[in-house]
Structure 1
Amino acid sequence: MDKKLYDIVLKVSHASGSGSCFYYRDKDIFVTNYHVVAGFKSVALLDRDENSYLAKVVLVNPCIDLAILASEKDFSYLPSVDLALDDSLGIGDKVFVAGYPYGMPFTVTEGTVSAPKQLMDGKYYTQTDAAVNPGNSGGPIFNEAGDIVGVTVSKFTNADNMGFAVPIDSLRKVIESYEDINRDKFHFQCDSCGELIENKCSFCPNCGEKIDDEIFDDEELSDLSVFCEDTLRQMNINPIIARDGYEHWTFHRGMTQIRLFAYDSVHLFAVSPIGVLPKKGVESILDFLLSEDMFPFKCGLDGSDILFVYRIHLTDLTDDTAPEIRRNIIDFVSKAVSLSELLEGQFGCEKSKYSKKEDALNR
């Protein structure tokens, strides 16, 4: 299959974790699992260059475990992909699972179809022996021709070589119901009658089917998350596209990566990898880092990676201290960028592997 098709697979990230999704150009939508985005109306999409884009959750079908996302970003440059025909899979057919397992960088695993229609809990799934892990959920499964044959949904806990996918006929059902809906609104699809419902309710207004009305609710953020996201907004950073899991945010200011996260429910860290020690002339760099007064910030080493760090104990974050800590975080981001540029220009340090590539800045 054409490996360019893997470009359609992006990472989905929000305040509770991450998963995978794929772009379906025919409808200008992204497809993922419902459980990947449950509790959120807006999420971040990340490509392999770590560019982040805002997407809205516009349609969910929890029963089938599928969701459709829409973004204002123009993704028409991505390859077009076809949906395979229903019942096109056979036992032993080769398939490829693409996604972001455990939130790690993009991976592809290869396997075969173990059962095209495996009945579990009253629903049919496609079973494969390809490696499937948490984070793969929502990503596509391709056949050898490059057509999508399913959406990765789960694996059995503590069981190897048993991954499952939402079959193509269920995916097609949800995509076809997407026609002519408002891309700015959240819709719940009743699995009983197919009705698309915008407003919170306990029963389908069309067929009377019982609905879990919590599906319409947004997940509440912790007090620390509210503080951190208010701080990001003051730096003109959209916190939604910076979300990288529970109480964890990752973003770039220019080419420099910044991470803001709670550690072990004890500390709040701001960390930036600002450069890599060169093989020669290390002493002058270390002298500079040790002699420079950077309080309340510090520099450290992780192997050859130079890290710029700000740490506070969460008990020190109070209503009285919050304004000063917020100013420190904003100042930290500015200094991280300046230090990264200084280390490169004055000491010849290479940029961190986490720095954004120059060509990615223009995308």
Structure 2
Amino acid sequence: MHVFQVATPFSTGTGIYLPGADLLVTNEHVVRENASVVVTGPKLEEQLARVVYLDPFYDLAFLRLEAPLDRTAVSILSTLPAVGTPVLSVGQRFGEPARTASGQVAVEEYRRHGIPYLAHDAREGSTLAGSGLYTEAGELAGINMLDDPESEERSLALPAPLVLEILEAFAAGEGSPAARCFACQRVTFESGRRLPERCPHCGGELTLPSTVEDVAPTGVNATIEEILRVAGHDPRLARRGPNLWSIRQGSASIQVAYHEESGLVTGDAYLCQVPEAPSAELFEYLLRENTKTRQLTFSTYGRDIILSLLIYDRYLTVETALPRFEYLFEQADAYDNVLVEEYGAGW
């Protein structure tokens, strides 16, 4: 069950790695308007993966990693599982632990907009779009796509036999990037020097992967990314949404966000967690340190201990903000060790 997390400047999602095809499968709407996306997962450092297949009709996209992963093969069902077959959904939001839910197949062929889906009740919040639906034997039964509009207790998955057909259609291009036309459902491969601007089969709109360019940030976002770059971080790997970046400094996780309405740029370093039975000395320490840190503030949210930096966008330049962010990164990596080792906080 090779579940991975996918992020772009616009959205985040879940993906499934298929070793036999050396492809990571996710939703087309997650990677739309991106030539490359950030991917991470178990034993995989954050990296950029190229989009090599776009399928707006089935809402699928294929990504190719920098190098094939050494993972065990995934068996993909070639026939539809019967009603009542036990199934397991495995999904993961970016930055969160993997979640699972068990259930059964409710309908073998549930048609919606001309597409056959498996309807199942293995959800409980775990059927994230792009996540995998598996049998008890670990076989891929489908890819979760959306909630059932007719039942709050069910989700709809693209069945594995159909996923196999799509993989075989893509494999016919021998690795060439490709896209499926939404209008006629024909697959077009990139070949030659001239890429078609419309579907060569029906003339409908068609977006091929190589015609897509990665987003170029502007304004405040461009300044934030330049600050991150000068501070030694790749801003492309840090993007988690339109105005959100996530980086790691040592053992600390730091989220940088731009709140356009208020004009605030925030840096929140999530250091560690308050222990279940915290001591008064821990909170006394945080209050004392608040009087010492320059322009940084300790706070708690739930059980998280956070060290924060606030800057208004009108004052945000590389020259003025870089020293503050570097100070945040430096202090975050030091404070988490103190809180864990001396005050019993948890990682």
| TM-score of the pair, normalised by structure 1 | 0.81
Please say if 1:22 is aligned against 2:16.
yes
Give 3-state SS (helix, strand or coil) of 2:166's partner.
Answer: helix
Matched to 1:261, the amino acid is A
State the partner residue of 1:121. 113
Amino acid in the other structure paired with 1:269:
T
- Give 1:300's aligned residue: 299
Q: Cα 1:123–1:57, aligned 2, differ >3 Å: closer, same or farther?
A: same
**Alpha-carbon distance between aligned partners in 2 of 1:91 and 1:254, rounded to the nearest angstrom:** 49
Which secondary structure state, in structure 2, belongs to the residue aligned with residue 84 of structure 1?
coil
1:248 and 2:244 correspond: yes
Deviations along 1:126-185, whole A, 9 cap, x unmatched? 2112226597111111112211111111114584123111122321122223438687x8
For structure 1, the residue ranges without an aligned partner over 5 or more in a row are 354-363
Aligned pairs (5 A) from 1:178-327 = 178-179=170-171, 187-190=178-181, 192-197=185-190, 201-205=196-200, 207-213=201-207, 216-218=211-213, 219=215, 221=217, 223-263=219-259, 265-266=261-262, 267-276=264-273, 279=279, 281-282=281-282, 285-286=285-286, 288-292=288-292, 294-302=293-301, 305-317=304-316, 321-327=317-323
Alpha carbons 1:273, 1:307 under 8 Å: kept: yes
Per-residue Cα deviation, 1:16-39 (whole angstroms, up to 9, x for no partner): 221111111112221112112112
Residue 202 of structure 1 aligns to which amino acid in structure 2? E
Whether the 8 Å contact between 2:77 and 2:161 is mirrored in structure 1 is no
Where structure 2 has 5 or more consecutive residues not aligned to the other structure, the ranges are: none
Q: Which of 20-29 and 148-157 deviates more?
A: 148-157
SS of structure 2 residue aligned to 1:324: helix
Partner deviation per Cα, 1:291-324 (whole Å, 9 max, x = no partner): 42x222222334664321101233443xxx4531
Q: Which moved more, 1:269-278 or 1:88-97?
A: 269-278
Contact 2:119 2:148 in 1 (8 A): no
> What's the counterpart of residue 360 of structure 1?
none
Counterpart contact for 2:226–2:318, Cα < 8 Å: no
Among 48, 51, 75, the alignment partner of 1:82 is 75
Distance in 1 of aligned mates of 2:260 and 2:101: 32
Q: 1:34-73, CA deviations, whole angstroms, 9 ceiling, x for partnerless residues?
A: 1121121211223258952322211111112111111125
Residue 36 of structure 2: aligned partner: 42
Identity across aligned pairs (percent)? 20
Once the two structures are TM-superposed, the CA of residue 84 in structure 1 deviates from its matched residue by 0.4
Deviates more, 1:253-262 or 1:239-248: 239-248
Q: 2:336 aligns with which of 337, 340, 360?
A: 340
Aligned-residue offset at 1:236: 2.7
**Residues 61-103 of structure 1, C-alpha deviations (whole Å, 9 max, x = no match):** 1112111111125521x332110013x3112212111112697
Tell me which of 63, 80, 87 is aligned to 1:95: 87
1:170 aligns with 2:162: yes
- List aligned pairs for 1:128-147, cutoff 5 A: 128-131=120-123, 133=125, 136-147=128-139
Q: How far off its partner does 1:246 sit?
A: 2.7
User: In structure 1, what is the Cα distance between the partners aligned to 2:106 and 2:138?
Assistant: 19
Q: How has the CA–CA distance of structure 1 residues 151 and 306 changed in structure 2, closer, same or farther, with 3 Å as cutoff?
A: closer
Residues 102 and 135 in structure 1, CA contact (< 8 A), matched pair in contact too: no
Q: Partner of 1:289: helix, strand, or coil? A: helix
Report the CA distance between 1:210 and its aligned residue: 0.9
Counterpart secondary structure, 1:195: strand
AA partner of residue 9 (structure 2) = A
In structure 2, C-alpha distance between the alignment counterparts of 1:220 and 1:134, rounded to whole Å: 33
Residues 136, 153 of structure 1: 8 Å contact kept? yes
TM-score (norm 2): 0.84
Please give the root-mean-square deviation of Cα atoms over the aligned residues, in Å.
Answer: 3.1
User: What's the offset of the Cα at 1:251?
Assistant: 1.8
In 2, the alpha carbon distance for the partners of 1:116 and 1:106 equals 26
Give the direction of change, closer, same or farther, for the CA distance of 1:126–1:26 in structure 2 (3 Å limit).
same
Deviation at 1:269, TM superposition (A): 0.9
Aligned equivalents of 1:203, 1:158: Cα separation in 2:
35
Give the partner amino acid of 1:85: S
Question: 1:290 and 1:330, CA in 2 relative to 1: closer, same or farther beyond 3 A?
Answer: closer
